[in-house]
Amino acid sequence: MNRVEGATIALEPLPKAEAYTSLLGRSYVFSFDDPVRKRALVSAYARFANTVPVYRLTYPDGLDAIDTAVSAIEGLVESLAGRRASTSSTDA
């Protein structure tokens, strides 16, 4: 998520490498104390970023545009779900 004063609502797909670093940077459970757990976490985030489309939401300060942001996210989810459904039906 990217809050920018005066911005308009935008959803931008991220390349896999940028998605990975963005997701990992927002990991609040990341710790250097346990190397095994750190390795598992890094691996899980890499698999996630490689499998799931990740988008950056840019939105303005305040709550005035919250309905527009939610509508944009819902539209994206519906679009991705429809694309997945049509891909699944051609795979069968």
- pLDDT tens sequence across 56-91: 999 998 888 999 999 999 999 999 998 766 666 665
Detail the DSSP E strand segments found in 1-92.
2-3, 10-13, 55-59
- Please report, rounded to a whole number, the percentage of residues in the chain having pLDDT higher than 70: 86
DSSP 8-state secondary structure symbol assigned to residue 6: T
Kindly state the average pLDDT of the residues 30-49: 85
Which helix or strand (DSSP H or E) is residue 60 part of? none
**Quick count: other Cβ atoms within 10 Å of Cβ 20?**
19
Predicted confidence at residue 19, as pLDDT, reads 95
pTM of the model: 0.74
In angstroms, what CA-CA distances link 41 with 5, 25, 59? 33, 12, 29
Predicted confidence at residue 27, as pLDDT, reads 78
Predicted confidence at residue 30, as pLDDT, reads 60
CA distance 68 to 30: 32
Could you give the number of structural domains in the chain? 1
**3-class DSSP assignment, residue 82:** helix
Predicted confidence at residue 69, as pLDDT, reads 93
Domain that holds residue 27: 2-91
